[in-house]
Amino acid sequence: MNIVDSILFQCRRQPPAAAICVPGPGIGLISYRRLEQFIHNVSRRLHALGLPERSIVAISIGDVIFHSAVLLASMRLGMIAVSLREGEISLPFQIDVLIADGKRSFANMGRVVLADLSWTEGDGRPLESHLLPQTHEDDLCRLILTSGTSSTPKAVGFSHKHIATSMARLSTFGNRIANCSRIYSDVPISSSLGFRFLIYALSRGGTAFFPGENFSSTLRVIEDYKVQCLVGSPSGFENLLRWFDTVPSYQSNVEVIYCGGDVLSRSLSDRLRSRICSHLISVYSSTEAGVAAVAHAHEIAEVPRAVGFVPPGVTVQIVDASGTLLPPGQEGQVRLRSEYAVDGYFGNPEESKKVFRDGWFYPGDLGTLSAAGLLVITGRAHAMLNLGGDKISPESIELVLAQFPGVIEAAAFAVPNEYGNNQVCAVVASRGKLDEQALRAHCEARIPRPFTPVKYLLVESLPHNENGKLDRRRVQDMVREIMARKV
Amino acid sequence: MNIVEPILFQSKLSPFTAAICVPGSKFGSVRYGMLEAFIHNVARTALKSGIVPGNIVATYINDTILHTAFVLGLMHAGATTLSLRGPKPVAGITPDVILTDVPGNVVNSGTVLAVDQSWLEGDGAAAPVAPQGSDDDICRIILTSGSTGLPKGIAFSHRMLAARIAHYTYSKGPRFAHCSRLYCDLGIATSPGFRYAMALLSRGGTIFFLGPDPADILQAIDLHKIQGMATSPYSLGEYLKFFEADEAFEVTFDHIICQGAMLSRQLSQRARARLCQNLYCSYGSTETTTVALGPASVLERVPGAVGYVQPGVVVEAIDGSGNVLPPHRDGALRIRTGHMAKGYVGDPETTRAFFRDGYFYSGDIGHLTAEGLLVITGREKTALNVGGDTVSPELVEDIISTFTNVEEAAVFALNDELGIARLFALIVAKSPIEESGLLQHCAQRLPPSCIPTRIIPVDALPRGAQGKLERQRLPEIAAAMVKPA
């Protein structure tokens, strides 16, 4: 089955119901009836491009509803759709066409087709059936880009069947998720979480909500339209919580929160549960392997850095450097095997080899697994920083720091804030005295907001190991020492 | 307690919750925090404009949200409010001030003040409201529907209104008791419209009213997860027609309360099948408050049943000499409730005719069953005398309405050239009706005196603001239809 057929079925079943809502000046709100017309009209435009089946269609459209229509139409036509994220400028594979709203520019993207809202206009009739390809459920239809905001991203490919099964699994993560028909995703449809919940809401005839033009219009819609479920990452929920904490009279009516992307800290878990919704589901998941652990946050709150229990269909192992299985409770590298995992990155065997080995996926985390199946994530095996769900390599920040006049070397690392979410802290070795204000401005102009350092520590030199590489562990020790001295 | 206080209290608890929502209107919706500011600003501007506590202040304002904000602000300032449905005040009630957004059209012996949105503006701080207001001060005059002819005013004190709102915790059934989002199809100027608004706002819920385009409210029902609807049988029929014509719409109501007139069995069954299975009928009046309520599924089985008599309400059927009749014996109904009106404002004569010995004489004829079900069999005034036989037009109308393709009917008597009353029926039909078939249908079910002598198809029946059939207008409509032929 083509996964989009399940959405078109809902369009026929309940045309006047709301399908997608994004409060703001764009399309704003679309009913199933109009969504169906959008999909068919856009399909006609896409078909006219004369692309062969399984063409890779990259989409760069800011309006979420228009973007969704192009995405669903492409998938329906048997193409492979990839949504470009904010700031994405290049891809590690060849695409066949870029559908863009013309608001951003791209390097080396090949064929670019500009699309505007006239694409959604037309008679709304479906494409004649002989023009539609025969979809096989194992055909790829969606690529999700993962990590590496400034380094080259990797793409994970999903088939119709994969999407259908991982969606069916969502409702097993608590009956409140199963009962939800109005779901707000704080993360965009370009991410695996946002995409999955879009399809989950639409294929069940519910309404998918995404952030609007501003915070207050989003909250207003959540309140007025009785949104039941919030989906997001720890960093997104931190922002939401900051607002809730400044407006104590705001009463939340949310029934369940689904939080993934990073370890939910004790502090954030407690505050989210006490202020927004006591029914908080913590998941440990990746685009590559889906959900590998899940729990109600209150069940695991007592265990520091616990992320959840391993669900059926997934095997998690903790191994040492030589790949030997470690006994329960002992710390080591996490690896997993899952019916919901892919077996490599799309068009990138080199990167695949690094993390997909012998049937296992290595997410790059260190952790422990209890005899009861509780997974605890204790750290990262490599230096990637996870800022409450937003991931970045420290090297990309360090590169920017080093460009500032007078800087010899810099190290970026993560320090938890009062919500338990990581923020970037920079240690900078320099010749002579540095203008910290100017350094800050330099970084803010070049690094996307969640990744700009919030704190700068100026030192004379940084520690290195015997190979001359930056010794990140000793940098951490050094910082701890400096901070202690300051206090 | 000033009746507006609970609303101000809810504004503190949940300033971000929508209070009043009129989809498609100029304001769209107003949140509790904003409503609180509106109330204070209107109260202050009113006092500054020379309105003093105790003044009767009539409002004739089109926009529902603006209108409601004014009514609440004025009541908070100690004024007696009165919502006019037309540009002229009602006979017997002289407002001290009329506030209107269409000043050119309004006629009043007292002051006419033009109002606009600027009255809502200000710092939203509490106004220096007369502190010595009493619970027994009159805060609201509500005009009862004109089905008896001229509109009459009923005065409410803060205490009476509070008691009637408290009554809502049980009087409208368990589903309404839990309802925080209600669509009221009856306007804010009507008695039920005003009280549903006050009930929802006092409990911190959201009240929805009809905006300029009905399509907006139809979309809002699902979008806003509106739980309940309060409506009249007439409007219920209109919604039913819409939803029956467009099968794509899923109706998501948890309950519907229907009031203002009798619900026919046919409408009841179809509404339950298509709109909402939890359909309640409510029987009452502005004079008495809710008298009886019951699930339509139960009431459908007993012709004329309007509901179970409410606790604290006494309903008696009496004979011509004032003796209380036993259950199942028809008589004129009289009603006593804990918080009923004392009479009509500025109309002692009509008051004496309807309010006697602590009872309100509703003008209905009916009886109670042994189970406490109230059954209405007719109206004293509508009961027709046809050749010496007393005919209940409602009974005849029910029978005609069950005939294929007849949507509704109204029956009345006209004297013929010999001075003998003849029965006429106006019918609204989906397609042309074969008259002989309809007459045969009636003959099989009714005594000879109840069979209409003339059947006149019309487009619609005349109805008042609450959907009540305006029986006094039937003869003129019939005359107009018959003349050209």
User: Using one digit for the tens of pLDDT, what is the confidence trace for A299-358?
Assistant: 999 898 899 999 999 999 999 988 899 999 999 999 999 989 999 999 889 889 989 999
Tokens encoding B376? 């209405």
Rounded to an integer, the average pLDDT of A139-143 is 96
Chain A nearest-CA residue for B18: A224
Alpha helices in B172-311 (DSSP H): 174-177, 191-202, 214-223, 233-245, 265-274, 296-299
Contact B223 A251 (CB under 8 A): no
> Which residue in B17, B29, B250 is closest to A17 by CB distance?
B250
B interface with A, Cβ–Cβ below 8 Å:
12-18, 21, 29, 218-219, 222-225, 246, 248-250
CB pairs under 8 A between A and B: 42
pLDDT given at position A433? 84
pTM: 0.78
Percentage of residues in chain A with pLDDT exceeding 90? 59
Chain B nearest-CA residue for A18: B223
Query: Closest approach of chain B CAs to the CA of A121, in angstroms?
Result: 22
Q: Residues of A with CB below 8 A from B18's CB? A: 223-224
Q: Residues of B with CB below 8 A from A225's CB? A: 223-225
CATH architecture observed for domain B5-368: 3-Layer(aba) Sandwich (3.40)
Residues 6+ apart with CB under 8 A from A75: A2, A3, A4, A81, A141, A142, A160
Q: How far is CA B394 from CA B193, B303, B361, B435, B449, in A?
A: 26, 11, 19, 20, 14
Among residues B361, B375, B363, which one has the least CA distance to residue B330?
Answer: B375
For chain A, give the mean pLDDT: 90
Among left, alpha and beta (phi > 0; psi -120 to 50; other), residue B481 is alpha
Chain B nearest-CA residue for A19: B223
Each residue's pLDDT tens digit, B407-453: 889 998 887 666 566 789 999 998 888 888 999 998 888 877 788 98
pLDDT given at position B478? 84
DSSP A421: -
Report yes or no for ipTM above 0.90: no
Residue A233 and residue A224: Cα distance in Å, rounded? 23
> Which residue in B14, B18, B224 is closest to A251 by CB distance?
B14
Contact B250 A14 (CB under 8 A): yes
**Residue A149: pLDDT above 50?**
no
A interface with B, Cβ–Cβ below 8 Å:
14-18, 29, 33, 219-220, 223-226, 247, 249-251
Contact B248 A224 (CB under 8 A): no
> Which residue in A14, A225, A250 is closest to B223 by CB distance?
A225
Each residue's pLDDT tens digit, B180-208: 999 999 889 888 999 999 999 999 999 99
Query: Closest approach of chain A CAs to the CA of B197, in angstroms?
Result: 18
pLDDT given at position A175? 79
Query: Closest approach of chain A CAs to the CA of B217, in angstroms?
Result: 12
**Residue B375: pLDDT above 50?**
yes
Chain A nearest-CA residue for B204: A251
For chain B, give the mean pLDDT: 88
Query: Closest approach of chain A CAs to the CA of B420, in angstroms?
Result: 55
Contact B225 A219 (CB under 8 A): no
CB B369 within 8 A of CB B376: no
The more confidently predicted of residues B144 and A319 is A319
Q: Across B115-218, where does the E strand assignment appear?
A: 138-143, 153-157, 181-184, 206-209
pLDDT given at position B150? 59
The answer to whether the Cα torsion of B16, B18, B23, B28 is positive or negative is negative
Residue A99 and residue B229: Cα distance in Å, rounded? 46
**Residue A411: pLDDT above 80?**
yes
Scanning the structure block, which residue is given the tokens 């339950």?
Answer: B272
CB B90 within 8 A of CB B19: no
**Residue B485: pLDDT above 50?**
no
Residues 6+ apart with CB under 8 A from B82: B56, B57, B58, B59, B93, B95, B140, B141, B142, B143, B153
Query: Closest approach of chain B CAs to the CA of A226, in angstroms?
Result: 7
Query: Closest approach of chain B CAs to the CA of A460, in angstroms?
Result: 52
Q: How far is CA A333 from CA A344, A351, A355, A387, B446, in A?
A: 19, 18, 12, 20, 89
**Confidence at B387, pLDDT banded by 50, 70, 90:** low
**Confidence at B76, pLDDT banded by 50, 70, 90:** very high
Chain B nearest-CA residue for A221: B224
Region of poorest pLDDT, from A97-106, A351-360, B195-204, B368-377? A97-106
pLDDT given at position B383? 62
pLDDT given at position B316? 95
Contact B224 A224 (CB under 8 A): yes
- Domains of chain A, first to last: 3-379 (3.40.50.12780), 393-486 (3.30.300.30)
Each residue's pLDDT tens digit, A261-299: 888 988 899 999 999 999 999 999 999 999 999 999 999
- In three-state secondary structure terms, A44 is helix
Topology of B384-482 in CATH? GMP Synthetase; Chain A, domain 3 (3.30.300)
Residue B49 and residue B58: Cα distance in Å, rounded? 15
Contact B29 A223 (CB under 8 A): no
Each residue's pLDDT tens digit, B243-262: 988 888 888 899 999 998 77
Residue B93 and residue B95: Cα distance in Å, rounded? 6
**Residue A150: pLDDT above 50?**
no
* Burial category of A327 from C-beta neighbours within 10 Å (exposed 0-12, middle 13-18, buried 19 and up): exposed
> Which residue in A15, A220, A225 is closest to B248 by CB distance?
A15
Query: Closest approach of chain A CAs to the CA of B297, in angstroms?
Result: 27
Each residue's pLDDT tens digit, A162-178: 999 998 888 888 778 88
Rounded to an integer, the average pLDDT of B55-70 is 94
The more confidently predicted of residues A444 and A486 is A444
Backbone angles phi, psi at B155, to 5 degrees: -95, 140
Q: What is the largest CA-CA distance in chain A?
A: 74
CATH 3.30.300.30 occupies which residues in chain B?
384-482
Determine which of B223, B227, B250 to mutate to test the interface with A (most A C-beta atoms within 10 Å): B223
pLDDT given at position B418? 60
Residue A36 and residue A50: Cα distance in Å, rounded? 22
Q: Residues of A with CB below 8 A from B14's CB? A: 249, 251
Q: Residues of B with CB below 8 A from A249's CB? A: 12-16
> Which residue in A225, A249, A250 is closest to B224 by CB distance?
A225
Cα end-to-end distance, chain A, whole Å: 62
Each residue's pLDDT tens digit, A343-394: 999 988 988 998 999 999 999 899 999 999 999 998 877 777 888 888 788 8
Scanning the structure block, which residue is given the tokens 């605890």?
Answer: A376
Q: Residues of B with CB below 8 A from A37's CB? A: none
Rounded to an integer, the average pLDDT of A55-68 is 95
Among residues B235, B229, B288, which one has the least CA distance to residue B254?
Answer: B229
**Residue B235: pLDDT above 70?**
yes
Rounded to an integer, the average pLDDT of B377-384 is 71
For residue B364, what are the β-bridge partners?
A: B379
Q: How many H-runs (helices) and E-runs (strands) does chain A carry?
A: 14, 26
